Amino acid sequence: MAFGAAVYTEHPQERAPSGAYRDAAVKCWFTASGRSMPLMLKVKDDGGEIIQIGPIQVITCEKQNFAGISAWRYECQASLEGRRIAFTLLFFPERCCWQVVMRTGKTMGRQE
């Protein structure tokens, strides 16, 4: 009996984005052709308050697989309290849920 290491090229595995993950409520427009465009999101900040971020500017969008889980990855920018922030949005179609990933070192807290 022979053993081998299978190489899966049909759905290559991607590295999950690094940073702080948070569940998010996302307002998204789906076009007639099936293209999705996130418009804004709501997420809890470090103090537990719900903050709104938008409008969202999508820089890139691609379908990826993380540990066998299919997801759409959006690299985005938006304004938050007068500052331009960069973040990653992940949409998991099988669970129909969104997560926002803030880059390492960034928080969702309010500036005082």
**pLDDT bucket at 7, cuts 50 / 70 / 90:** very low
Nearest Cα to 15, choosing from 56, 55, 71, 58?
71
Strand bridging mode 36-44 / 20-30 = antiparallel
Q: What is the model's pTM?
A: 0.76
User: Residues near 26 by Cβ (< 8 Å), separated by ≥ 6?
Assistant: 38, 39, 40, 41, 89, 91, 98
Spatial separation of the C-alpha atoms in residues 46 and 106, rounded to whole Å:
11
Query: Structure tokens of 78?
Result: 């938006």
User: Residues near 83 by Cβ (< 8 Å), separated by ≥ 6?
Assistant: 111
Nearest Cα to 11, choosing from 64, 60, 62, 61?
64
Q: Write out pLDDT tens, residues 52-78.
A: 998 999 999 999 887 788 999 999 999
The pLDDT score that the predictor gives to residue 8 is 47
